[in-house]
Structure 1
Amino acid sequence: MSSPKSKTQTKSAKVISLLSRAKGATLDEICKTTEWKQHSVRAFLTGLRKKDFVLTREQRGDDATAYRITQNPSDKEPEGAA
């Protein structure tokens, strides 16, 4: 019998985790974590926006631009709810 392997986290899940931090994540941080090129990270961020994630872009003290998820699609109220 083989032992059960722990499920590895997908790159998408890692990026969402980074973006969910209070300080968010820079393009460079995401590139290092995923081994993606910057244009791929930007495309992924666009895809998140299309999936109704709300992203903010903030300037950090070290002159780096950080991106952060401020609202997940699951946080939104269903349409027609009032």
Structure 2
Amino acid sequence: MTKNTDTKTLREGSKAATLLEMLQRDDGATLEEMTTRTGWQSHSVRAAMTGLRKKDHVIEKRATGNTTAWFIGAAA
């Protein structure tokens, strides 16, 4: 069995792919938006973002007033 070398590939239609899609929006996504769309609890969304980071995605957060949004940032 061969291992997929593209670490950024996610199964199409999966919740992780949905999360990645949300993070790629220009305005990113709030934790509330991500939990609502995926049906996951907040700690599960944060764990999934950690998993995306381990797959070499750069995830940044931006606070505006009382709202924090996460988004895919520029690669280092």
* Unpaired stretches in structure 1, ≥5 consecutive residues: 1-7, 77-82
TM-score, normalised with respect to structure 2: 0.76
Question: Could you tell me which residue of structure 1 aligns to residue 73 of structure 2?
Answer: 70
Whose radius of gyration is greater, 1 or 2?
1
Letter in 1 for 2:69: A
Q: Which residue of 2 aligns with 1:18?
A: 22
Output one character per residue of 1:8-53: Cα deviation in whole Å (capped at 9) or x when no partner: 7221111111000000001110000000000000100111111110
Aligned length: 65
Distance 2:53 2:24 in 1: 14
1:9-48 correspondence runs (5 A): 9-48=13-52
Residue identity in the other structure for 2:72 = I
**TM-score calculated relative to the size of structure 1:** 0.71
Q: State the Cα RMSD in Å.
A: 1.8
Which amino acid counterpart does residue 37 of structure 1 have in structure 2? Q
> Which residues of structure 2 form unaligned runs of 5+?
1-11
Structure with greater contact order relative to length (CA < 8 Å, sep ≥ 6): 2
Stretches of 4+ moved more than 6 A in 1?
none
